[in-house]
């Protein structure tokens, strides 16, 4: 696999090649996932839940994100490294630039932030200063208490229209990638067709330009509640690398996610 850049991801969308992204939080998994063919590795603030055992992502700090970003970046030579700006670390443009700089210095190639059109000025500032930005719409976990739980978003017409409008505003502001989480498949399809940049889905059906999974979900390392949109790729494979190769392959061939992993 040649080095994955934002330009390469855009070309993949244009050539209708699906993008496979997965979270990792350390060098070993990042290296194995890259060798398995993952195009992008996300240091998600999901680490607050899957590593730290918290009930949400809200307690994660910029220093913790920087530590895990540094670890992941050590393991990656080809994949695009995307790091989450955690809760309240981008509540104004100056703060966003300072914290994004910390993550970029730790080895990120792009930062991800959650929210709609209100982030436009911040995104413009970041991109002007050399920081590629990934947006995140739909179920944005940092707003879990506003939503009243980890719930499907965009089900009613007003909500769907708002998400579409936000996606267009974020693209106009300069994002180069968009994660859409837990929205009905037809809405995700419409947004993927509407935008020129690649749209990566999680719980957003089969018609986005790529998929992202939390690594613990992809490897069946879940206790208790297992979200509908996940799949344990280790169940039918005998190593972590083979499991993630199967994930990349099923995404590329449009076999994952299936209807059983999607919302309509
Ligand atoms: O934090 C994370 O892992 C994420 C993914 C669920 C997209 O944002």
In tens digits, the chain (264 residues) has pLDDT values of 789 999 999 999 999 999 999 999 999 999 999 999 999 999 999 999 999 999 999 999 999 999 999 999 999 999 999 999 999 999 999 999 999 999 999 999 999 999 999 999 999 999 999 999 999 999 999 999 999 999 999 999 999 999 999 999 999 999 999 999 999 999 999 999 999 999 999 999 999 999 999 999 999 998 788 899 999 999 999 999 999 999 999 999 999 999 999 999
Q: Assess whether the C-beta atom of 85 lies below 6 angstroms from ligand 1.
A: no
Q: Assess whether the C-beta atom of 208 lies below 6 angstroms from ligand 1.
A: no
In angstroms, the CA 58 to CA 217 distance is: 20
Nearest CA to ligand 1 atom 8: 44
In angstroms, the CA 96 to CA 263 distance is: 33
The alpha carbon of 194 and the centre of ligand 1 are apart by a number of angstroms equal to 23
Residues 6+ positions from 224 with CB-CB distance below 8 Å:
none
Query: For the chain, how many residues are written?
Result: 264
The two beta strands, 199-202 and 19-23, are unpaired
190 is catalytic: no
Q: Assess whether the C-beta atom of 202 lies below 6 angstroms from ligand 1.
A: yes
Q: Which helix (H) or strand (E) holds 21?
A: strand 19-23
> Of these residues, 114, 181, 193, 260, which one is catalytic?
181
C-alpha distances in Å from residue 86, one per residue of 90, 133, 143, 230, 252: 8, 14, 11, 23, 30
The alpha carbon of 175 and the centre of ligand 1 are apart by a number of angstroms equal to 17
Residues 6+ positions from 7 with CB-CB distance below 8 Å:
none
pTM over 0.75: yes
Taking the CA of residue 57 as reference, the ligand 1 atom at the shortest distance is: 1
The alpha carbon of 84 and the centre of ligand 1 are apart by a number of angstroms equal to 8
Q: How crowded is the C-beta side of 198, counted as CA atoms within 13 Å? A: 28
150: buried, middle or exposed (CB in 10 Å: 19+, 13-18, 0-12)? middle
Q: Assess whether the C-beta atom of 214 lies below 6 angstroms from ligand 1.
A: yes
């Amino acid at each position: 696999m040649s080095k994955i850049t934002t330009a390469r991801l855009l070309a993949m969308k244009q050539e209708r090649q699906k993008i496979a992204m997965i979270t990792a939080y350390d060098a070993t998994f990042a290296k194995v996932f890259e060798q398995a063919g993952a195009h992008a590795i996300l240091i998600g603030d999901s680490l607050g839940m899957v590593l730290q055992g918290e009930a949400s992502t809200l307690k994660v700090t910029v220093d913790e994100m920087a530590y895990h970003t540094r670890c992941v970046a050590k393991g990656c030579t080809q994949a695009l490294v995307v790091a989450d700006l955690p809760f309240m670390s981008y509540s104004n443009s100056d703060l966003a630039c300072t914290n994004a700089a910390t993550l970029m210095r730790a080895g990120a190639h792009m930062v991800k932030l959650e929210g709609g059109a209100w982030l436009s000025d911040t995104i413009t500032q970041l991109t002007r200063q050399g920081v590629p930005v990934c947006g995140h719409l739909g179920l944005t976990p940092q707003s879990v208490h506003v939503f009243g739980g980890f719930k499907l978003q965009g089900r009613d017409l007003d909500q769907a229209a708002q998400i579409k409008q936000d996606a267009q505003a974020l693209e106009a502001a300069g994002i180069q990638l968009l994660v859409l989480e837990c929205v009905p498949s037809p809405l995700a399809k419409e947004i993927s067709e509407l935008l020129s940049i690649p749209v990566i889905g999680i719980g957003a059906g089969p018609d986005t330009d790529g998929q992202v999974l939390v690594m613990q979900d992809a490897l069946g390392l879940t206790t208790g509640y297992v979200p509908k949109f996940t799949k344990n790729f280790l169940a039918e494979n005998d190593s972590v690398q083979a499991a993630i190769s199967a994930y990349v392959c099923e995404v590329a061939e449009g076999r994952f996610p299936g209807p059983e992993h999607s919302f309509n």
